[in-house]
Structure 1
Amino acid sequence: MKIVVVDDDKLVCASLKTIIESEGDITVVGLGHNGKEAVTLYDQLQPDVLLMDIRMDIMTGLAAAQTILSEDTAAKILFLTTFVDDEYIIQALKLGAKGYLIKQNFESIVPSLRAVHAGQNVFGQDIITKIPGLVSHEQKLDFSAYDLNEKDLEMINWVAQGLNNREIAGSVYLSEGTVRNRISLILEKLDLRDRTQLAIFYYKHQG
Structure 2
Amino acid sequence: MRIVIVDDDMLVSSALKTILEVNEDVQVEGMGSDGKEAIALYERYRPDVLLMDIRMKDMSGLDASREILKAYPQAKILLLTTFSDDEYIVKALKYGVKGYLLKQDYNSILPALQAVQTGQTVFGTEIISKLPGLLQEKKVYDWEAHEISEKELQVISLVAEGMSNREIAAELYLSEGTVRNYISNILEKLELRDRTQLAVYYLNAVR
SS of alignment partner, residue 4 of structure 2: strand
Instruction: Determine the C-alpha separation between the residues in 1 that align with 2:134 and 2:27.
Output: 36
Structure 1: 4+ residue segments shifted above 6 A: none
Matches within 5 A, 1:12-51: 12-51=12-51
SS of alignment partner, residue 22 of structure 1: coil
| Cα displacement (A) at 1:135 | 2.2
Name the structure 2 match of 1:175. none
Instruction: Determine the C-alpha separation between the residues in 2 that align with 1:126 and 1:43.
Output: 32
C-alpha offsets along residues 179-205 of structure 1, whole Å, 9 cap, x if unaligned? xxxxxxxxxxxxxxxxxxxxxxxxxxx
Query: Percent same amino acid at aligned positions?
Result: 58
State TM-score, norm by structure 2.
0.66
Q: Does 1:66 align with 2:58?
A: no
CA change 1:138–1:86 in 2 (3 A) is closer
SS of alignment partner, residue 136 of structure 2: coil
CA change 1:24–1:132 in 2 (3 A) is same
C-alpha offsets along residues 106-135 of structure 1, whole Å, 9 cap, x if unaligned? 000000000000110000011000001112
Name the structure 1 match of 2:111. 111
Q: Which amino acid aligns with 1:64?
A: A
| Cα displacement (A) at 1:136 | 2.0
Name the structure 1 match of 2:52. 52
Name the structure 2 match of 1:75. 75
Q: Which amino acid aligns with 2:34?
A: N
Structure 1 gaps of 5+ residues are 140-207
Structure 2 gaps of 5+ residues are 140-207
Instruction: Determine the C-alpha separation between the residues in 2 that align with 1:138 and 1:40.
Output: 35
Instruction: Determine the C-alpha separation between the residues in 1 that align with 2:29 and 2:118.
Output: 19
Superposition CA RMSD, Å = 1.3
SS of alignment partner, residue 87 of structure 1: helix
C-alpha offsets along residues 142-184 of structure 1, whole Å, 9 cap, x if unaligned? xxxxxxxxxxxxxxxxxxxxxxxxxxxxxxxxxxxxxxxxxxx
